[in-house]
Amino acid sequence: MPTYGLARTGKTPTVFGLAYRRVPLLTSLVSISGLVAWYDFGNASTLFTDTARTTLVVNNNDPVGSATDLSTLGHHLSNTGATDRPLYQTNMKNSRSACLFDGSNDYLSVASFSLVQPTTVFAVFRALVVNSSPNAVFDGTGADSMELREGSGSAYEVYAGAFLTQTMPAETTSYHIISVLFNGGSSSVSKDNVNFASGNAGASNAGGLNLGRYGGGSRFLNISFAEFAVWNRTLNLSETASIQSYLNGKWAIY
């Protein structure tokens, strides 16, 4: 029998100015069906200095050549370059490690796999630079396919053929949990469990993943990644609240 707890929903205030719902408490994201990729940069046992995933990171600033996919599908992130790998950094948030992308040429990607809308993404990260250039937090394998990026007005933009939003504020002071549902005209994006925008993000499909750059191979972002997970479907309110509770409990975001 699952264990239950209260999770903030970001809906109409009911308790101390916030709304809560009773949700199952997760011990792993795998229990939410449809998980196709999951990377925990706070778990050093899943991070390797080589693309063959034989040599674990050990020391602060070790290069990360590969990150294990914790879903059951083996979509491991990697970077075959010698000088453009992000760095493993210890004690970055809530006594956990994270992965630093330098904004110059660092990235991690996964070879093409089927990833079509509807797609739900949860990303835990801290941007270290904010500017008006369209530098990508993440994208698919195609250029501007399923993308969260910084853009005009120093704000985050969600794009999959159309702009869902161009006004969600980007800043460098804190880590955040950003969740994006790419689902055509029924897309949405939230920040720290509060819905920011809903509407049309376009109908492009990702077909794979890039972290720290866009699918065209440039537009790198200086960013500290904590965790990243992708589902190949729309999640219901209870599932979304459980994931938010799990990530917030691990990273102490809000």
**Where does residue 91 fall: left (phi above 0), alpha (psi -120 to 50 degrees), or beta otherwise?**
left
- The residue ranking higher by pLDDT, 5 or 137, is 137
Asked which of 32-36, 83-87, 109-113, 218-222 is least confident by mean pLDDT, the reply is: 109-113
12 within domain boundaries: no
226 within domain boundaries: yes
pTM of the model: 0.91
Q: Partners of 228 in the beta sheet? A: 39, 123
193 within domain boundaries: yes
Q: Is the pLDDT of residue 6 over 60?
A: no
- The residue ranking higher by pLDDT, 5 or 175, is 175
Q: What sign for the dihedral angle of Cα 115, 119, 125, 126?
A: positive
- The residue ranking higher by pLDDT, 131 or 184, is 184
**Domain total for the chain?**
1
CA-based nearest residue to 226, from 158, 169, 170, 177:
177
Q: Is the pLDDT of residue 51 over 70?
A: yes
Predicted confidence (pLDDT) per residue in 85-109, tens digit: 999 999 999 999 999 999 999 999 9
Average pLDDT rounded to a whole number, residues 229-249: 97
- Please give the Cα distance from 124 to 5 (Å, whole number): 21
Q: Is the pLDDT of residue 234 over 80?
A: yes
Query: The domain that contains 199 carries what CATH number?
Result: 2.60.120.200
Map tokens 């070879």 to a residue.
111
pLDDT band at 2 (very low <50, low <70, confident <90, very high): low
62 within domain boundaries: yes
User: In terms of residue numbers, what domain contains 41?
Assistant: 27-251
Average pLDDT rounded to a whole number, residues 207-222: 95
- Please give the Cα distance from 240 to 242 (Å, whole number): 5
Q: Is the pLDDT of residue 3 over 80?
A: no
CB 65 within 8 A of CB 48: yes
Please report which helix (H) or strand (E) contains residue 27, including its range: none
14 within domain boundaries: no
The pLDDT of residue 10 is 55
The pLDDT of residue 230 is 98
116 within domain boundaries: yes
The pLDDT of residue 23 is 64
pLDDT band at 132 (very low <50, low <70, confident <90, very high): confident
Tokens of 94: 């809530």
The pLDDT of residue 167 is 86
CA-based nearest residue to 21, from 11, 7, 32:
7
CA-based nearest residue to 242, from 22, 68, 91, 84:
22
- Please give the Cα distance from 164 to 61 (Å, whole number): 36
The pLDDT of residue 15 is 36
- Please give the Cα distance from 211 to 218 (Å, whole number): 11
The pLDDT of residue 131 is 82
81 within domain boundaries: yes
Percent of the chain with pLDDT over 70: 91
- Please give the Cα distance from 43 to 61 (Å, whole number): 15
Cis peptide before 24 (omega within 30 of 0): no
210 within domain boundaries: yes
